[in-house]
Amino acid sequence: MRWTSMELAALATRAVPGLSPTGVADAPDDARDFMSAVVVDDSGNRWRVRGPQHQQAAMRLETEVQVLRGFSTAIRAELPFRVPSVAGATRVEEMRVFVYNHLPGEPVALSELVGASPELVEDLGRTIAAVHDLTESVVDHADLPAYSAERVRQRRLNELDAAAATGQIPPLLLRRWERAMEDRALWKFAPTVVHGDLHEDNLLIEGDRVMAVTGWTDLHVGDPADDLAWLIASPDHTFSDRVLSAYTAHRHAVPDEHVLRRAALSAEFALAQWMIRGTTSGNTQMIEEAAGLLRQLATDIETYGGRPIALDSPADGPSPAPADQQDSKPVRRAGAAATVAGAGSFSPDEDDDEPAYVTDADVANAAADADQQSPAPAAFAADPLTEELPAYVDDAGEFDLPAPATGSLPIQPDDASERRAKQKNFFPSSAASAASARSASSSASSSSAASAASAPSASSADSGGAAESHGADDSAGSAPSPASAASLYDRHPGLRPPGS
């Protein structure tokens, strides 16, 4: 489902009674999943309207609403940045469109952040540290998953198997990633609250301060390295070190010494997750783009050696077989088909540090037995996307803050979410073009919104921004082109091994 900026403005009036738009402008967002606009009302206030384009995106938005409800006044007061607040919602068919209070600041391209002032670098580290020091009650309140370090490692291995099953992953990358994922010493870390989708587009910056953090759709307890992966793709390989230094200084607990190694792995592995997503959705264009980028990465690592990720050197073990003798086949492991978030109990006779995971067959058999003994109540048989959910401000104009929903969760850590991956913009087609595209989109949005505030009507503001809206959507929604540059390392020196 797609909406124009004018349609989103109209939906905002349904979601927030009394809102009278005088202007509307396109707003940058994850173009494959959401449509977003900034609406200016007759009092000069700004509102952000966000609507999902498909049901998976709708589930992510519902999850974000649950997360934002968990940010109590006390928690918000302790954070060095602001988080969104939902002002209203309205239903369109099976999905809901949300209106948020507008937050100050604008996204800044990663290529510009690397030249940021020491004050801004310090604030970036402080911001990430504050996310990771959040109380786990925020995650519990939204009924979102919490993963142990071993569970995180197993999930990555499962994703590697899914990626290998596509037959599109270069053997060099399969060996490199599997060696890192099998290296248990690399995965000894204390799980923290993780934003899950942290990158420059979700950081709103003004001057030398991070004013707000958005995009809370993938919150969970897990590996803090995932929130540092976007730093690795920076044009300056020292940028991640400077932010990490500030991050370490502001953390309540000292981060593990291998966090940047896992962050580098996460940055590289994002391409495999992009391949999985394209294969799962049957999107030929995504598959071709991911395959081209994976070949580029393999060539760069073969040429430059790659940024260190595994603790053990390949030279310390047996020599791998030549690349032309390798194949891309999944490796069956215990727990590779697990569908539940938690792990089973340890066997008293087998103390091998491996949890006993529940497989799909076990879950299916248990569910069948449970259905025979006690059929599920009709209330829980309904599709959580189609049943009527209360909004913050409903269409009748009544303000309502319901208790958190129970029963079926918006996002379950099942087989589908195990394989779910989305582009995190680690590898844009070129640093310059991506920066200019985001900069143009941000400046166009802000300038359109500013002019809209003084415009006599919303239509006049939108007439100049409609073309820009489609252009921004096309550029943001298109994955990087494999032929856009000779080397990923040329565009992202941070991925090169230090000193190369």
Q: pLDDT tens digits for 325-384? A: 444 444 444 334 333 333 333 344 444 444 444 444 444 555 455 455 544 444 334 443
pLDDT band at 498 (very low <50, low <70, confident <90, very high): low
Percent of the chain beyond pLDDT 90?
Answer: 49
CA max distance for the chain: 76
Q: Hey, which residues does 91 pair with through a beta bridge?
A: 96
Contacts of 444 (CB under 8 A, 6+ apart): 25, 26, 465, 468, 472
| pLDDT of 175 above 90 | yes
Q: For residue 391, is pLDDT > 50?
A: no
Tell me what pLDDT residue 442 has: 43
Identify whether the C-beta of residue 128 lies closer than 8 Å to the C-beta of residue 230: no
pLDDT digits (tens, 9 = 90+) for 235-291: 787 899 999 999 999 999 999 999 999 999 999 999 999 999 999 989 999 999 999
pLDDT for 327 equals 42
pLDDT classification of 223: cutoffs 50, 70, 90: very high
Residue 324 has pLDDT above 80, yes or no: no
Highest mean pLDDT among 16-25, 321-330, 434-443: 16-25
Highest mean pLDDT among 199-213, 381-395, 478-492: 199-213
| Stretch 456-475: mean pLDDT | 38
Q: Is the pLDDT confidence value at 428 over 90?
A: no
If you average pLDDT over each of 45-49, 378-382, 438-442, which comes out highest?
45-49
Q: Report the percent of the chain where pLDDT is more than 70.
A: 62
Buried b (16+ CB within 10 A) or exposed e, 130-141: bbbebeeebbeb
pLDDT over threshold 50, residue 318: no
Q: Does the pLDDT value for residue 125 go beyond 80?
A: yes
SS3 for 18-31, per residue? Answer: CCCEEEEEECCCCC
Radius of gyration of the chain (CA): 23
The average pLDDT across 392-408 equals 40
pLDDT of residue 312: 76
CA atoms within 13 A on the CB side of 345: 3
Using 50, 70 and 90 to split pLDDT, how confident is the model at 3?
Answer: confident
CA 39 – CA 21 distance, rounded (Å): 6
CB atoms within 10 A of CB 30: 22
> Which of 74-88, 218-232, 321-335 bottoms out in mean pLDDT, i.e. has the lowest?
321-335
Tell me 146's DSSP state: B
- Per-residue pLDDT band for 26 (boundaries 50, 70, 90) equals confident
| CA-based end-to-end distance of the chain | 47
**Cα dihedral sign for 394, 399, 405, 411?**
positive
Instruction: Rounding to the nearest 10 degrees, give the CA dihedral for residues 131, 259, 261, 225.
Output: -20
Q: Which helix (H) or strand (E) holds 210?
A: strand 209-213
Angle at which helix 259-281 crosses helix 149-165, to 10 degrees, equals: 40
- Distance between CA atoms of residues 16 and 170, nearest Å: 51
Q: How confident is the model at residue 166 (pLDDT cuts 50, 70, 90)?
A: very high
Answer whether 210's CB lies under 8 Å from 127's CB: yes
Residue 446 has pLDDT above 80, yes or no: no
The residue behind tokens 């979410």 is: 417
Above 50 in pLDDT, residue 431? Answer: no
Q: Give the pLDDT confidence score for residue 488 in this predicted structure.
A: 58
- Helix, strand or coil, per DSSP, at residue 212: strand
Query: What b-and-e string marks burial along 452-484, b requiring 16 or more CB atoms within 10 Å of the CB?
Result: bbebeebeebbeebbebbeebbebbeebbebee
pLDDT at 352: 45
More confidently predicted of 35 and 380: 35
Structure confidence at residue 445 as a pLDDT band (50, 70, 90): very low
Q: Residue 358: which residues within 8 A CB-CB, separation 6 or more?
A: 338, 339, 340, 344
Q: Where are the beta strands (DSSP E) in 31-164?
A: 34-41, 46-52, 86-92, 95-101
Which domains, and CATH codes, for the chain? 5-103+387-411+438-477 (3.30.200.20), 110-349+482-495 (3.90.1200.10)
- Helical (H) or strand (E) element with 205: strand 203-206
| Model pLDDT, residue 491 | 55
Three-class DSSP category at 276: helix
Rounded distance between C-alpha atoms, residue 468 and residue 473, angstroms:
8
Structure tokens at 257: 């010494």
210 close to 81: Cβ distance less than 8 angstroms: yes
Answer yes or no: is pLDDT of 22 > 60: yes
